[in-house]
């Protein structure tokens, strides 16, 4: 088991094996939940998202950034590559969301021997393994972070978990996740250094297929538990901001996959199923809430998540030789999982409250 974990860890610092599918997307993604005094009581916290990404498109725009690349992956040595893409981050400081906290093109250096990724630029960032700590460093115009994430619970549900789903015509989705890590580190702002603590989530993902719409959520609890759900689907949301303006979301009518999982740390029990319904509800403005109904063998789960901030990456690209453009909105929401209840066939119940985390919904489609 330990050797398998080490192999997966080494694979984290490797480029995608499949880079033939036009429009393929590859990224490393961190969510850092930075705790304040009341986080365990309220479920609210500061959050920092960091992503390093490449996309097999010659020209695509993300928010205000134009990304033009002829070749996304260049091998420069044994287990060494240059990746031409972008480094990005948003930061919710507890009051305000800074959407383009970092947003710039970068020729990223990936070293599979040193287990290191470095993104040079105006706002340099890096990701490296030091002993048993995953260390992320990132600068913006106003802040500098050093974030150290360490896995303290080695249960198989937490990971590292690697999975691959082959699709028709050479397409696939492949990735590695670590669902919960303990976070420490330091923040520097205006010359002032502040220690930080909290939890973190990591994923490395290849989507060698057209990006669908999806609902996703990930929440951590003070007892060490975590809860997550994922529903990629095809529906009328793909026309939002393409055929009409704005999102018109509802329960997915054509889900491609349904996954739900609760890891209940006090008993080390895993509740995992492949039936989940996400019911989105607009709170007005840019915020949403999710009611999540799921089940698996011997249990049912009902959970309610409520967003308190929002960040969006809007991607646009030309439709072939036409003057028209298609767009895709990747929305992330710092959110509180207000209440989760597990009902078991035995009559037992588990109730968790005020989980801190993030939920996503996406709409649109890139042609």
**Taking a C-beta distance cutoff of 8 angstroms, is the pair 72, 55 a contact?**
yes
**Taking a C-beta distance cutoff of 8 angstroms, is the pair 192, 231 a contact?**
no
Find out if CATH 2.40.370.10 is the number for domain 1-209: yes
205-254 pLDDT tens trace:
999 888 888 999 999 999 999 999 999 887 777 666 665 566 666 655 67
Token reading at 274 = 């492949």
Token reading at 361 = 């919904």
Fold equal for 1-209 and 211-367: yes
Sign of CA dihedral 113, 155, 306, 41: negative
pLDDT higher at 184 or 283:
184
Token reading at 141 = 């115009």
pLDDT at 3: 66
Give residue limits of the domains in the chain. Answer: 1-209, 211-367
Find out if CATH 1.10.20 is the number for domain 211-367: no
**Taking a C-beta distance cutoff of 8 angstroms, is the pair 24, 167 a contact?**
no
pTM for the structure as a whole: 0.94
pLDDT higher at 237 or 76:
76
Token reading at 204 = 């490395």
Token reading at 353 = 């409250």
pLDDT at 152 over 80: yes
pLDDT at 181: 98
Give the N- to C-terminal CA distance of the chain in Å, as an integer.
42
pLDDT at 285: 86
Residue 65, strand partner residues = 62
pLDDT over 70, % of the chain: 91
pLDDT band at 79 (very low <50, low <70, confident <90, very high): very high
**Taking a C-beta distance cutoff of 8 angstroms, is the pair 282, 330 a contact?**
no
Q: Which of 237, 217, 242 is nearest to 227 (CA)?
A: 217
pLDDT at 90 over 80: yes
312-323 pLDDT tens trace:
999 998 876 555
pLDDT at 4: 62
pLDDT at 255: 78
Tell me the DSSP string of 212-263: -EEEEEEEE-TTS-EEEEEEEEESGGGGBTTTBSS----S-SEES--EEEEE
CA atoms within 13 A on the CB side of 318: 9
4-16 pLDDT tens trace:
666 766 789 999 9
3-state SS string for 308-321: CCCEEEEEEEECCC
Cα 241 off chain centre by: 23
Q: Which residues touch 174 (CB under 8 Å, ≥6 apart)?
A: 16, 17, 18, 163, 164, 165, 205, 206, 208
Cα-based distances in Å from 365 to 14, 29, 123, 212, 213: 28, 21, 30, 7, 8
């Amino acid at each position: 088991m330990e050797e398998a974990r080490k192999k997966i860890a080494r694979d984290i610092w490797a480029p995608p094996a499949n880079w033939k599918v036009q429009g393929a997307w590859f990224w490393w993604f961190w969510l850092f939940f930075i705790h304040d005094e009341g986080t365990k009581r309220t479920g609210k916290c500061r959050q920092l998202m960091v992503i390093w990404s490449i996309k097999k498109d010659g020209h695509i725009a993300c928010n205000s950034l134009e990304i033009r690349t002829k070749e996304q992956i260049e091998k420069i040595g044994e287990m060494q590559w240059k990746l031409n893409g972008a480094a990005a981050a948003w930061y919710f400081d507890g009051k305000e969301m800074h959407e383009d906290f970092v947003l710039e093109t970068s020729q990223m250096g990936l070293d599979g021997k040193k287990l290191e990724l470095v993104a040079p630029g105006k706002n340099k960032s890096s990701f490296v393994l030091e002993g048993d700590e995953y260390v992320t460093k990132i600068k913006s115009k106003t802040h500098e972070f050093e974030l150290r994430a360490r896995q303290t619970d080695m249960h198989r549900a937490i990971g590292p978990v690697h999975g691959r789903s082959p699709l028709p015509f050479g397409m696939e989705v492949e990735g590695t996740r670590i669902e919960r890590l303990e976070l420490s580190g330091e923040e520097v702002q205006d010359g002032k250094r502040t220690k930080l603590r909290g939890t973190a989530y990591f994923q490395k993902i290849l989507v060698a297929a057209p990006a669908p719409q999806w609902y996703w959520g990930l929440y951590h609890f003070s007892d060490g538990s975590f809860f997550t759900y994922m529903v990629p689907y095809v529906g009328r949301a793909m026309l939002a901001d393409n055929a009409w303006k704005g999102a018109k979301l509802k329960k997915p009518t054509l889900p491609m996959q349904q996954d739900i999982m609760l890891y209940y740390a006090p008993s080390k029990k895993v509740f995992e199923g492949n039936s989940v319904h996400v019911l989105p509800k607009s709170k007005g403005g840019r915020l949403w809430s999710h009611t999540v109904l799921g089940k698996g063998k011997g249990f049912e789960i009902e959970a309610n998540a409520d967003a308190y901030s929002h960040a969006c990456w809007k991607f646009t690209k030309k439709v072939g030789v036409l003057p028209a453009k298609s767009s895709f909105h990747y929305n992330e929401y710092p959110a509180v999982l207000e209440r989760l209840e597990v009902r078991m066939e035995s009559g037992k119940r588990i109730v968790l409250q005020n989980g801190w985390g993030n939920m996503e919904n996406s709409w649109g489609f890139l042609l």
